Amino acid sequence: MQKFLIHGGKKLNGTINVECAKNAYLPILASTILCEEEIVLKNCPDFTDIKNMIIILENLGITVYKKDDELHINGAEASFCFIPSELAKVLRSSIFALGALLGRFKKAKVAYPGGCDIGLRPIDLHLKGLKDLGVKIVECHGYINCDASEMKGGLVHLDYPSVGATENLIMAGVLNSGTTTIVNCAKEPEIVDLQNFLNNLGAKITGAGTDTIVITGVKKLHGGSWTPISDRIIAGTFLIATAMAGGEVEICNVIPQHFSSLIDKLQKSGCKIEQKDDKIFVVCNSRLESVGFLETMPYPGFPTDLQAQMLALQTVCKGSSLIQENLFETRFKFVPELIKMGANVKVNQRTAYINGVDKLFGADVYSTDLRGGVALVLAGLCAQGYTTVHDIYHIDRGYAFIEKTLSSLGANIQRID
Ligand code: EPZ
């Protein structure tokens, strides 16, 4: 199993580019099931989650080939509407295919999804919404059997603004008869990107980015090309990496307003951050003040996907802080690994209490999930001595060779077998 060997203490200096967003690319890939003509997706990042979503599409009879960093996708020959557990369990976004399969084929049999071990991650909101649109669903033996022969437009009121449920219901509505309205939906930028992508293919969707989305069903979609938005979580990760290791980094191909909640917190802690168009410039050469209190919320609140990285930063800030994780019930699993490095953190259910220490010390640590794993890498950058981060396959799901990007900024990090 590969691991990262990090020799801490090196500052980060230089310029990096941020890839397209994993959490935009994945629903967009799932939504290509709805289209029977060629689609070209540009700037495809080298994330394992994307590779695994492509395998799911190919398993449905969709042709996908990569030409440089472009994905050429054609769903004309798609005919299967079955996703076996060995494919579905590999990633959360396998469930996003359900809405698209029902929109295209009016039936589907999919296994329960997998994804990061950060909570129970039920799909009740997805299924309740589809039932509200007339889909008949039978769950048995770990499979979700759906009959959408009588699916039609209607009103779905989400009990919680679930990102995945919102995206699934958008896809179910695109080729649906009538109008589908989703109330109390998620407002993440990746949902706006999904709307814009599908409208570019001839769909009729309005309201993404607000709490009500309306989809007017159309007969068919035509082909087209698209470049998904920049990954706000990767951008935020490198902002926090610079805050922890110190240095001066320019981060290009970003949309600063998509992570303004983080920028605000870091500036208040003492980071110098300037924004210009699609670039952000961060300078940090002194120990930061702690954030005090932070809680994760649905967008535009502080993103849960930056919680682990922010917690790692707090372990070396001046003062104490409290972080409340409101979205996922077990998203502090990486904390014991930080404690091995000398962090002073206490966790009680969804609340972490952090007392900043002068320094962390290198240790053998184990990734527990994608963002918890990258938080350990950030800790290793500023720890004294050597840190080995194991189980880095978690990290590769959402970062493309992060060791190369960090090395280009001056970090001493290498991938070893
Ligand atoms: C998406 O997951 C992202 N994944 C997650 O990113 C992100 O953390 C999350 O949204 C929140 O922003 C992708 O887009 C592929 P949710 P999703 O449905 O759709 C509960 C990363 O690190 N819930 O908004 O699964 C759920 O348990 C990943 O890139 C239900 O109760 O998130 C959670 O507590 C991790 N029933 C809350 O809602 C449901 O049917 C938010 O989940 C669905 C969700």
- Is residue 117 scored above 90 in pLDDT? no
What is the model's pLDDT at position 119?
87
Q: What is the mean pLDDT of residues 233-245?
A: 98
List, for residues 297-314, the tens digit of each pLDDT value. Answer: 999 999 999 999 999 999
- 370 touches ligand 1 (CB under 6 Å): yes
Nearest residue by C-alpha to atom 19 in ligand 1:
164
What pLDDT sits at residue 291?
Answer: 97
Instruction: State percent of the chain over pLDDT 90.
Output: 97
| Residue 106 amino acid letter | K
**Ligand 1 proximity of 124 Cβ (cutoff 6 Å):** yes
Q: Is 23 in the pocket of ligand 1 (CB under 6 A)?
A: yes
Does 73 have pLDDT greater than 90? yes
User: How large is the C-alpha radius of gyration of the chain?
Assistant: 21
Annotated catalytic sites, by residue? 116
Query: Is the pLDDT assigned to residue 46 strictly greater than 90?
Result: yes
Query: 163-174 vs 96-105: helix axis angle to the nearest 10?
Result: 10
**Beta strands 38-41; 412-416: pairing state:** unpaired
398 lines ligand 1 (CB under 6 A): yes
Q: What's the order of all strands across the beta sheet hosting 293-295?
A: 293-295, 320-324, 351-355, 344-348
Using the mean position of ligand 1's atoms as its centre, give its distance from the Cα of residue 109 in Å.
21
For the CA of 369, the nearest atom of ligand 1: 22
pLDDT (0 to 100) of residue 243: 98
pLDDT digits (tens, 9 = 90+) for 282-292: 999 999 999 99
Burial class of residue 277, CB neighbours in 10 A (0-12, 13-18, 19+): exposed
pTM of the complete model: 0.97
| Mean pLDDT computed over 234-251 | 98
CA 184 to ligand 1 centroid distance, Å: 15
Closest C-alpha among 123, 99, 122 to residue 191? 99
Domains of the chain: 3-18+230-416 (3.65.10.10), 22-218 (3.65.10.10)
Q: Is the CB–ligand 1 distance for residue 30 below 6 Å?
A: no
Neighbours of 72 (CB within 10 A): 14
Amino acid 186: pLDDT = 98
Residues 362/387, Cβ–Cβ less than 8 Å: yes
CA distance 266 to 261: 9
- On the question of pLDDT at 114 being above 90, the answer is no
| Dist CA 153 CA 174 (whole Å) | 10
Reference 1, options 334, 388, 362; nearest CA is 388
* Closest CA to ligand 1's atom 3: 23
Ligand 1 center from residue 165 Cα (angstroms) = 9
Nearest to 95 by CA among 308, 248, 195, 85: 85
The residues with which 390 forms a beta bridge, in sequence order, are 366
Residue 162's nearest CA partner among 204, 121, 130 is 121
CA-CA distance, 41 to 193, in Å (whole number)? 13
pLDDT at residue 118 is higher than 90? no
pLDDT of residue 154: 97
How open is the CA angle 409-344-318, to the nearest 5 degrees? 65
Is the pLDDT reported for residue 115 higher than 90? no
